[in-house]
Structure 1
Amino acid sequence: MKKYKRRDVGKAIVMALRDLGGSASRKQIRRTIAENEYDGLTYEGVYYTKKAKTRMYSPFLFDFNFGLKNLYLVGYIEELKRNQDVVLTDLGRSADLTNYPSKEQQRIIAAYWDKKNALRAERNKAKKLANDQKEEAVDSNDEQDSADNDWKTQLLDQIKKFKPEKFESFSRLLISKMGVAIDKEKGVQISGDHGIDGFGYFRSDEFRTSRVAIQCKRYTSGPVGEAEIRDFKGIMDSFNAEYGIFVTTSYYTDTAKRIAMKGNRTVTLIDGQELTDLIEKYQLHIKPVTTYALDDYYFEKD
């Protein structure tokens, strides 16, 4: 996976929010940036993780959190609130992003962080903290977001270490939790023999039953491309499947996404990030831990 170079991501955040209708969760914004590669960012860069002394962390997430704060400072987004969507202001919806941040915006942003860092340095002088205070300055509003990213990063890293047979079995289990009844003969015995990794049936609310083909690719790096989706759709036809589900630990190229949606038999694409979200949703081999988040009462206004 390509490494991520620290940078300003404010423009990409606004571009994503505009495409999402002006309001979205932080997770939706990051995903939209990754999928559309706004402002030169890449999917691999957005989800790149780096090992610290005790855990894995996302360098992009630091820049993302700073980007949100900076956008609030210049009036592009409304005040950030815990567990609520990020919302564009009228200025954020209409402003020309060509030269963002402008010199005046840079001055406003720098003044805020200079003041913030001076206060922090004064409070922590006796503790002899590291000089790179911006690295430590993730807003308290984002602590839960960071914690959520931490365990899902570890989860995806572990899944990438599965043997192919275990990943196929795991994917079938997840898809069965999503409502697809796996055919115990076709759905398992054809695995690895004819190019698909599962087969089952899904009954909709209208009592219509559809035939579903399943394909799994455990990639440690690089995207799933057009060829893999074309091959899968061809095999779907041979099994008379009405639609397909393709699961990967990686991500998909734009061409692969377009091919998946073409024709009468479409393919639902599940990438690594959505995979961890689904594991959380269906509580698949994970144990929830009860904790508490402080509300705004405990945090002073800047």
Structure 2
Amino acid sequence: MEYERRDAKPGILSALQELGGTASKTRIKEVMADIEEVDFTYEDINYTVTSRNGRMYKPFAFDFNFGLKELEVLSYVQPIERNRDITLTKKGEIITSCRVPTKADFDTITEYWQEKHRVRQEKMIAEKQASEELSGGAPELTESIDDDGDLANIEWKQELINQLQKFSPKKFENFSRALVNQMGVRLDPVKGVVVSGDHGLDGFGYFESDEFRTTRVAIQAKRYANENKVTEQTIDAFKGAMDAENAEYGILITTSSFTIPARKKAIIGSHPVTLIDGDRIADLVEKYHLFITEVHTYKLKDYYFE
């Protein structure tokens, strides 16, 4: 079923309130998919389309980020900082999510985006005039998604997932081991680096908690296209391989996503499996700066466009 664009603000608020008022963006999305009253399913969140220029993206990412920005503008969440958890304000803690946006909220949001559009249009005109003066031509101008926050992150994160899906199985397994190593898992010098060929495990290691408790961790990597989700049967097979190595928990990493039965199966029993899908891979790559280069730039404030 094709994804339908819609307001994500009530769902984000419901998820945050259920999570105690503060959570990562990844956790908010997971809970949004689990709350029956929220109008977003796991399939909605992971629905992928191809743009005219051939790039793949998830429409939900736009609704989610616009929703977060508007909740910030309306003071339902505290000012959003990059790579930090989202936290409700007192106003956000007491509001009933089904009442958002109120009439006053709608007017505030409308005024905010109108002002943003006005400033952007003036900036585009100024850039066009400057370019024409320099080159004598009239260059084609493109408008960015938005000037604020994480909306600019959508494109590079989707490009990351696209590139990972082009990896060979061996290279993706190597990438997955590098990722879990950054997450604090110490790979076994023998079992931790064996290329499985899709039989057994893709990695094995040890995690030491802050209480100095060491646990055995099994790792499996599934380089799937977006339409090929990890199933319950895959989780079952992984748990069987975990038992053979006496692993206490597992980490399953995929470039696609998981079916609902797979997500339920992952937490059943005494040996749970942590599920890392494409979106979560991108968040972790950003958190640990794994094989990426951070680019710094600047944007002009409204002062320059009066």
Q: State the TM-score, normalized to the length of structure 2.
A: 0.72
Return 98-107 or 145-154, whichever deviates more. Answer: 98-107
- Structure 1 partner of 2:153: 148
How far apart in 1 are the matches of 2:266 and 2:217? 14
- SS of equivalent residue, structure 2 residue 194: helix
How far did residue 33 of structure 1 move? Answer: 3.4
Given the alignment of the two structures, is residue 250 of structure 1 paired with residue 250 of structure 2, yes or no? no
Relative distance call for 1:260 and 1:110 in structure 2 (3 A) is: same
- Structure 2 partner of 1:238: 244
Q: Which one-letter code corresponds to 2:271 in the other structure?
A: R
- Structure 2 partner of 1:279: 285
Give yes or no for contact 1:181–1:200 (8 Å, CA) kept in 2: yes
- Structure 2 partner of 1:15: 14
Percent identity between the two aligned chains = 43
How far apart in 1 are the matches of 2:54 and 2:199? 43
- SS of equivalent residue, structure 1 residue 158: helix
Give yes or no for contact 2:65–2:151 (8 Å, CA) kept in 1: no
1:34-53 per-position Cα deviation (integer Å, ceiling 9, x unaligned):
56587322345435364364
Which among 178, 185, 190 is matched to residue 179 of structure 1?
A: 185
Which among 257, 270, 273 is matched to residue 276 of structure 2?
A: 270
- Structure 2 partner of 1:298: 301
Q: State the TM-score, normalized to the length of structure 1.
A: 0.73
- SS of equivalent residue, structure 1 residue 39: coil
- SS of equivalent residue, structure 1 residue 196: coil
How far did residue 158 of structure 1 move? Answer: 0.9
- Alignment length, in residue pairs? 286
Relative distance call for 1:102 and 1:184 in structure 2 (3 A) is: same
Give yes or no for contact 2:11–2:97 (8 Å, CA) kept in 1: no
Matches within 5 A, 1:49-198: 50-51=50-51, 53=53, 58-72=58-72, 74=74, 76-78=76-78, 80=79, 82-83=81-82, 86-103=86-103, 105-114=105-114, 117=117, 138=146, 140-142=147-149, 145-177=150-182, 178-184=184-190, 188=194, 191-192=196-197, 194-198=199-203
Give yes or no for contact 1:187–1:200 (8 Å, CA) kept in 2: no
- Structure 1 partner of 2:223: 218
